Amino acid sequence: MIGKTSILVIALMLAGCNISVETDKDVKIVTPAKAKAFVDAVEADFAEKNEFAAQVFWVQANFMTVDTNAMAAKVGGDMTALAVKYATQAKQFNDLKLDPVLRRKMEMIKLGITLPAPTNVAENKELATISADLDSMYATGKGPEGRTLGQLEDVMAESRDPAELLKAWEAWRTISPAMKDKYARMVAIANKGAKELGYSDVGYMWRAGYDMPADDFRKEADRLWDQVKPLYDSLQCHVRAKLNEKYGDDIVPLDQPIPAHLLGNMWAQQWGNIYELVAPEGSRIGYDLTAALKEKGYDEVKMVKTGEQFFTSLGLDPLPETFWERSLITKPRDREVQCHASAWDIDSKDDVRIKMCTKINAEDFKTIHHELGHNFYQRAYQNQSTLHQNGANDGFHEAIGDAIALSITPDYLKQLGLIDKVPGPEGDIGLLMRRALDKVAFLPFGLMVDQWRWQVFNGELTPETYNQGWWDLRLKYQGIRPPVARDANAFDPGAKYHIPGNTPYMRYFLAHILQFQFHKAACAQAGYDGPLSRCTIYGNKEVGKKLNAMLEMGASKPWPDALEAFTGTRQMDGSAVLEYFAPLKVWLDEQNKDRKCGW
């Protein structure tokens, strides 16, 4: 799901819009009234300018050419320059006592820029050009023999020939070495911009955007990881043992980390494609969702309409007709597009869209529910003021659709007519294993991507150590190693979309915690008291009403307030993950009792 997961592009574009306000020299004496006028002017300008910017980036993502890249770079540069100017002006109100809502908006203005450009015009333009170039290099990248990422991903998912897997794994990483120098220059320019705004580096700036001190957020992420790490460790140990049975000691030694090319995914971030190699013996899920979708005649549009139906079954309004007219749902045959699935909010009202190269399979069925979660969230908070038209934190935006996807249970599939009967409890361990290979396996990857970037931005890692630092973190958190030696000229981080695409990644880690919290709370509200893995809230309008109340809040309150509104607690908590997978953890520990775990 996250391998093709969404980027909330508009949340990034809100970082830079054409701001026309008082200059620093005009503001001789700051007052609360001037601060409010300042914020009001900014919000009005955001509302006016953002739609055009969104349209430009939409065109660039759907028609990847030299010309559209140039247009996107121009608009991006203009917006970033003005946003930086505006964020710099906002600093003059730092010491002024303001009401909490106004103060929080002022901080949002300063922290809303993903890559802050310096005030220097030439460097601003250079940063925008590099950003557009990196995005295009990824989107149009092809491995040897002209194979696209989609083609290579199919090999990673389906092949069990280690030589073929290695060839595909190495092929995709040929696109990224050319990115490294551009990326390093981008880091230097963006860090200069962050310093002008008063932050030590870009990574510190990102961590400051969670309604808590930046250093506290780092501790919070570690606390959540410590909660769920024992579950991951048990899963990693079992998967390594089963891969050893398949490939032997020469390829998967039991005393070493797992080679990254054998886990069914180009980035070894989710392992669901190797389910049949590690599945509990005798535990049958009882259905094949991909086969069922094809057998029942689902096409790409019907898959999306089915996802919409889940949300409307909760009482939420249907998607507007323009969604169906303007979304990109299938990959065009005649042009280059950015196929990475994403959800878009063009006008901050009703022009919401998705962009994905949909395939008829179980993975994309879940991805659709995820992407639509963004769109329904966007529509729910459309009546908030401009700066509050966002998720309570970026993890919320990713978690909503994923929480809905946790309701894709056998009971839900039976209600859709995709399966004839609900399998009995004898298949639960298999179902939990299948889901853990995606959800639990992802947790350390979701954490380490930004851990790497934090070290890049603060200078701990240099271009010479970028690649070694990437694999050091993958070893530390995932117990994964590269299948072949990698040298300093490689730039394996660039082979993951979110690095050249400059999308902060901590949101995905938080989402993998929050989605289980949301799911547990929703099931409790529905009066369900069975295993969480069997609970679906499909059709429950009372749960939908409470969910929508949280969505409507947008970013108008600190995220603990939004969390409390739906779950009753103010703290993100990994215990719901542990409860969801508790039966699997017992089973895994039984399997591992005579194995040497760890790496």
Which residues are known to be catalytic?
A: 371, 498
445, HSE (Cβ side, Cα atoms, 13 Å):
22
Is residue 389 within 8 A of residue 382, CB to CB? The reply is: yes
Structure tokens of 514?
């929050």
Q: Is the dihedral of CA 116, 118, 119, 125 positive or negative?
A: negative
Where does residue 281 rank: exposed (0-12), middle (13-18), buried (19+ CB within 10 A)?
Answer: exposed
Q: At what angle do helices 559-567 and 541-553 cross, to 10 degrees?
A: 170
Nearest Cα neighbor of 242 from 264, 227, 225 is 264
Instruction: Give CA–CA dist 116/181, Å, rounded.
Output: 19
381, HSE (Cβ side, Cα atoms, 13 Å):
25
308, HSE (Cβ side, Cα atoms, 13 Å):
17
Is residue 64 within 8 A of residue 338, CB to CB? The reply is: yes
**Rg of the chain, C-alpha, whole Å:** 23
Q: What secondary structure letter does DSSP report for 117?
A: P
Q: Find residue 343's DSSP bridge partners.
A: 8, 354
Please give the backbone phi and psi of residue 269, each rounded to the nearest 5 degrees, phi first. Answer: -95, -25
Instruction: Give CA–CA dist 471/479, Å, rounded.
Output: 10
Q: Do you know the residue count of the chain?
A: 599
Instruction: Give CA–CA dist 64/58, Å, rounded.
Output: 10
What ranges in 145-270 are assigned the alpha helix state H? 149-158, 162-172, 180-196, 202-207, 214-247
Nearest Cα neighbor of 87 from 118, 50, 64, 56 is 118
Nearest Cα neighbor of 285 from 82, 128, 120, 429 is 429
b/e sequence 414-452, b meaning 16+ C-beta within 10 Å? beeebbeebbeeebbbbbbbbbbbbbbbbbbbbbbbbbb
Q: What secondary structure letter does DSSP report for 122?
A: H
Instruction: Give CA–CA dist 573/224, Å, rounded.
Output: 7
Give the E-state strand segments of 326-409 in sequence order: 342-345, 352-355
